[in-house]
Amino acid sequence: MTTSKYALFGALAMLSTTTALAGDFIYKPASATEIAAHHQKVAGSHRERFVKPYEVQRLSQNVYWISVANYNVTAVIGQHSVLLIDAPHGTGKQLLAAIKSFTDKPLSGIVYSHAHADHVGDSRLIQTALADTHIEIYATAEVRDALHSHKVTAPAPVTQIIGDTFKFEGHTFKTLSNFNGHTQDNTALLIQDQGRTIIHAIDLVHPDQLEFRSFSNVEDAIAYKNDIDTLMALDWDVMVTGHSNLGYKADVQFVQDYIRDVQTFIHAGLAKAQFAEHFKGESPFSWYAGYTNEVIDFAHAKMAEKYRAGREEEFDIVAKSHVRVMFWAMFARAL
C-alpha cells in the first residue's frame, strides 16, 4: 500500500519535472564526466536544484555548467587554470567546491556577463577566499562602465577589458555585445571546444519555464525580442542561461513564438479597442488607462487560452507582466 502510494507520488513528480515546453528533451542526472548529448538536460525539479549545494554538468571536453541555488555559470578549463563566467551573489563558496570536484587546476579569472550583482556579486568573495592567487576580472568596457554608472559595488573591480574576441589559455571566445534588451551591457560569449559550440547568454531564456516577470525585468522589451531573434540566428549547440536548466534552440523557439503571440494579440486588441469609449472625465491619464488596460486585458486573455493550461501557477504570476511590458514598448514606438 505504502509502496504504491510513493510510486504514484514519484510518477507525479517525474511528470512535473519532465514536462517540456518545446522539443523532446532527455533528462539525466548531472554528470561532471559525461558530456551532455544534444537535447540532454539535467534531471530534477527546480526545488531539488535549489537546495543542492551544487550540480555540475559537462558540456564539452573543457566546458562545464555549474548550478548553485537556481543560478548557472560556465567554467572553462584552460591549459593551466580555470576561467569562470559569472559568479552570482551568494554562490561563491559552492562554486569553488564545484570546480574542485572536476579539476585540480586553480581558478585564475572571472568574466562578467553583465553588471547585475545577482550574477557577478560573489567575485569579491572568491578573490578573498583565494587570497594567494591573482584572480583576473574580465569584462567588456560596456559592462565595466555600467558597473560604475549604476554604482554596483558588490563585485570585484574589472582588471582586464575584453574586445570582440577573448583568448584564454588555448581557447578563443567570441564576445557578443549586441544583446541590449535585458541590460544595455549584456554580453554573450560563444565558446568553441572540440566540435561543440557553447553559448553563455544570461537572463534571456528560462528553459522549461515561462519567462520571469516582465521577461526578467527587461530594460527594453523590443530590444529583448531582437535578442531572442539573434539567439535563434546564431550557430551554437547548447546554452548556459543563468537560471533553470540547459538551453537548446527549441527553448529559444518557444520564447520566440510566445513573444510573437504577445505581439499578435496586442495588435488584435488595438484593432478592437475604441479610444472614444474611454474619453470620459477630466484626466487624460484615466482615458489612457481605460484604453490601454482594455488592450492589455484582451491580449492577456488570448495568451491564457493558449498558454495557461498545465502551468496555471506560473502563468498567473508572470503573463500579465509580459503583455504589459511588451505593450508599452510597442505603444511608445507605434509598432
Measure the CA–CA gap between 201 and 333, rounded to whole angstroms.
Answer: 27
Q: Which is nearer to Zn ion, 184 or 192 (CB)?
A: 184
Q: Which is nearer to Zn ion, 116 or 206 (CB)?
A: 116
Interface positions, 34-73, toward Zn ion (CB under 5 A):
none
In DSSP terms, 200 is beta-bridged to 189, 240
Taking the complex as a whole, the smallest distance from the CB of residue 216 to Zn ion amounts, in Å, to 6
Taking the complex as a whole, the smallest distance from the CB of residue 12 to Zn ion amounts, in Å, to 33
Q: Which stretch binds Zn ion (CB under 5 A): 32-40, 124-132, 161-169, 201-209?
A: 201-209
The residue whose Cβ lies closest to Zn ion is 116
Cβ atoms 298, 269 nearer than 8 A:
yes
Interface positions, 68-127, toward Zn ion (CB under 5 A):
116
Residues 168-177: contacts with CB under 8 Å, at least 24 apart: 168/76, 168/78, 168/83, 168/109, 169/78, 169/79, 169/80, 169/81, 169/83, 170/78, 170/79, 171/62, 171/76, 171/78, 171/83, 175/140, 176/230, 176/234, 177/140, 177/142
Q: Which is nearer to Zn ion, 60 or 113 (CB)?
A: 113
Residue at 50: amino acid letter: F
Q: Which is nearer to Zn ion, 44 or 242 (CB)?
A: 242
DSSP state, residue 275: G
Q: Which is nearer to Zn ion, 54 or 212 (CB)?
A: 212
Taking the complex as a whole, the smallest distance from the CB of residue 290 to Zn ion amounts, in Å, to 34
**118 exposure class (CB count in 10 Å sphere: 0-12, 13-18, 19+):** middle
Number of residues that bind Zn ion (CB under 5 A): 2
Taking the complex as a whole, the smallest distance from the CB of residue 206 to Zn ion amounts, in Å, to 12
Taking the complex as a whole, the smallest distance from the CB of residue 286 to Zn ion amounts, in Å, to 35
Measure the CA–CA gap between 328 and 335, rounded to whole angstroms.
Answer: 10
Nearest to 34 by CA among 60, 11, 10: 60
Q: Which stretch binds Zn ion (CB under 5 A): 31-39, 78-86, 199-207, 302-310?
A: 199-207
Q: Which is nearer to Zn ion, 94 or 113 (CB)?
A: 113
Q: Which is nearer to Zn ion, 39 or 119 (CB)?
A: 119
Taking the complex as a whole, the smallest distance from the CB of residue 319 to Zn ion amounts, in Å, to 20
Does 203 engage in binding with Zn ion (CB under 5 A)? yes
Cβ atoms 252, 231 nearer than 8 A:
yes
Cβ of 288: how many Cβ atoms within 10 Å? 13
Q: Which stretch binds Zn ion (CB under 5 A): 2-10, 82-90, 142-150, 195-203?
A: 195-203
Taking the complex as a whole, the smallest distance from the CB of residue 265 to Zn ion amounts, in Å, to 27
Nearest to 127 by CA among 143, 110, 140: 110
Q: Which stretch binds Zn ion (CB under 5 A): 69-77, 135-143, 202-210, 326-334?
A: 202-210
Residue at 47: amino acid letter: R
Taking the complex as a whole, the smallest distance from the CB of residue 215 to Zn ion amounts, in Å, to 11
Measure the CA–CA gap between 301 and 287, rounded to whole angstroms.
Answer: 21
Taking the complex as a whole, the smallest distance from the CB of residue 257 to Zn ion amounts, in Å, to 23
Q: Which is nearer to Zn ion, 44 or 92 (CB)?
A: 92
The cell for 3 is: 509502496
Q: Which is nearer to Zn ion, 116 or 300 (CB)?
A: 116
Which residue ranges make up the site for Zn ion (CB under 5 A)? 116, 203
